């Protein structure tokens, strides 16, 4: 099952179980306030409500609050057969209310900038006949922190609250665990390059992705997401989407090249070219991709400048990792001259995720094909790449600490 589908299923299952004994009631109002650098949301109701809260980053930044089935009794604008719009405040553009399932209701807060949930809790009425209140404090953060916390939750990962207790503070914080997306090139109907003895690139790439996942997890502090966990074909768009929606700290796509010169062999590393950077920028502007910049309502020229700045940092980080990786690759096997190269490659288009494409060798070379088809060689290569990834994050942390 793909990670996104799995998360959606887990979220759905959680929402079906979320209303644990709370009586049906109605929301009477949503209020906002600004306190000591954070934005407070208060959901008022006529009865105590259990709730759950999580954040989403795809198709716009959102804070989502799931509730038992309740009615809406406050001021709102009808925007669909089953959805109401409620006014926002500050970085919260608007709120939307609707019934998610037969047993649950959902309030979605659309954000104009990334916010982290600092704390959330329930408050009983101050006096008889008063409102019950759910309180959520949101503080500004950057997109990387937001993306790491965002996503449909797996079972047990969602921040929960009860009418009978105060939830723990600081539910969403930046994790020390680094999230690496490993992309096995080709797959399914697309075999990729065919080797001298008939080996298929897609199989080599997939086996190498499993070896790299194992090597990274053995180091600790790494969560590895595979773009494909079986022999299926994925569009390039989806591979980029997995990296962005997964909140990746690094994306590495594994391939094996082919050329009409059977004596050419060796690994090489690609980062995005200037032409590819322009292509990525256009995709950001065309699709309003969420980044660590706010584009909504801005002049197009200003939006372009903001995207340029964000992309520049991503490109610098991609190049930094590529240089470390090319320095380590000779430990594992042969490499091409001018090992670090640039190209307009689609899978490297994510504008806010450092990314490289590793050509592990040439299927058109008998020696490279034999190496890449051998588990022990792939495992050695994977350990070298994992070590380079470790070096990259250590270097980055030292640089950040020095700023």
Which pLDDT value is given to residue 403? 42
C-beta of residue 66 within 8 angstroms of C-beta of residue 136: no
Fold annotation for 3-161: Immunoglobulin-like (2.60.40)
C-beta of residue 179 within 8 angstroms of C-beta of residue 249: yes
Rounded distance between C-alpha atoms, residue 327 and residue 324, angstroms: 5
Which pLDDT value is given to residue 279? 52
Instruction: Give every strand in the sheet of 132-140, ordered side by side.
Output: 70-72, 25-35, 38-45, 132-140, 115-123
Assigned token pair, 40: 């407070």
Which residue, chain included where needed, has tokens 């997964």? 246
How far is residue 235 from each of residues 183, 244, 251, 359, measured CA to CA in Å? Answer: 12, 15, 16, 19
Instruction: Give every strand in the sheet of 51-56, ordered side by side.
Output: 77-80, 83-89, 92-99, 104-111, 62-68, 51-56, 159-161
Which pLDDT value is given to residue 59? 66
Q: Which segments of the chain have a pLDDT < 50?
A: 1-23, 155-175, 276, 280-281, 284-285, 287-307, 309, 402-403
Rounded distance between C-alpha atoms, residue 359 and residue 363, angstroms: 10
Which pLDDT value is given to residue 348? 75
- Parse the chain into domains and list their residue ranges: 3-161, 178-402
Which pLDDT value is given to residue 306? 41
Q: Do domains 3-161 and 178-402 have the same CATH topology?
A: no
Which pLDDT value is given to residue 122? 86
Report whether CATH 3.40.630.40 matches the domain 178-402: yes
For 351, phi then psi, to 5°, come to -80, -10
pLDDT tens by residue, 220-264:
889 999 989 889 888 887 788 788 777 789 999 999 999 999 999
Q: How remote is the C-alpha of 273 from its chain's centroid?
A: 23
Which pLDDT value is given to residue 360? 97
Which pLDDT value is given to residue 175? 43
What kind and span of H or E run contains 296?
none
């Amino acid at each position: 099952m793909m990670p996104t589908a799995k998360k959606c299923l887990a979220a759905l299952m959680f929402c079906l179980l979320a209303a644990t004994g709370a009586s049906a009631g109605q929301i009477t109002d949503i209020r906002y306030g600004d306190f000591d650098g954070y934005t407070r949301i208060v959901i008022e109701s006529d009865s105590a409500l259990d709730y759950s809260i999580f954040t989403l980053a795809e198709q716009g930044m959102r804070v989502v609050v799931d509730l038992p089935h309740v009615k809406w009794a406050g001021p709102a604008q009808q925007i669909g057969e089953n959805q109401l719009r409620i006014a926002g405040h500050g970085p919260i553009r608007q709120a939307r209310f609707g019934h998610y399932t037969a047993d649950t209701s959902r309030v979605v807060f659309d954000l104009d900038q990334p916010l982290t949930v600092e704390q959330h809790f329930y408050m009983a009425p101050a006096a008889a006949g008063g409102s019950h209140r759910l309180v959520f404090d949101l503080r500004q953060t950057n997109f990387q922190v937001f993306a790491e916390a965002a996503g449909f939750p797996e079972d047990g990962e969602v921040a929960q609250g009860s009418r009978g207790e105060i939830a723990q503070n600081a539910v969403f914080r930046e994790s020390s665990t680094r999230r690496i997306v490993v992309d096995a090139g080709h797959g399914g109907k697309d075999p990729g390059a065919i080797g001298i003895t008939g080996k298929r690139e897609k199989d080599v790439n997939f086996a190498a992705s499993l070896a790299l996942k194992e090597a990274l997890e053995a180091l600790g502090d790494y969560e590895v997401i595979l773009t494909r966990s079986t022999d299926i074909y994925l569009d390039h768009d989806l591979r980029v989407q997995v990296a962005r929606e997964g909140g990746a700290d690094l994306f590495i796509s594994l391939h094996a090249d082919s050329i009409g010169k059977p004596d050419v062999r060796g690994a090489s590393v690609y980062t995005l070219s200037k032409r590819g950077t322009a292509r990525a920028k256009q995709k950001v502007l065309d699709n309003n991709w969420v980044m660590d910049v706010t584009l909504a309502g801005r002049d197009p020229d200003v939006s372009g400048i903001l995207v340029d700045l964000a992309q520049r940092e991503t490109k610098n980080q991609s190049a930094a990792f590529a240089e470390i990786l090319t320095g380590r690759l000779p430990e594992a096997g042969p490499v091409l001259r001018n090992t670090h190269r640039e190209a307009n490659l689609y899978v490297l288009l994510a504008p806010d995720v450092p990314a490289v494409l590793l050509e592990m060798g040439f299927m058109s070379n008998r020696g490279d094909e034999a190496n890449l088809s051998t588990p022990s060689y792939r495992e050695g290569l994977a350990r070298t790449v994992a070590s380079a990834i470790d070096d990259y994050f250590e270097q980055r942390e030292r640089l950040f600490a020095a700023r």
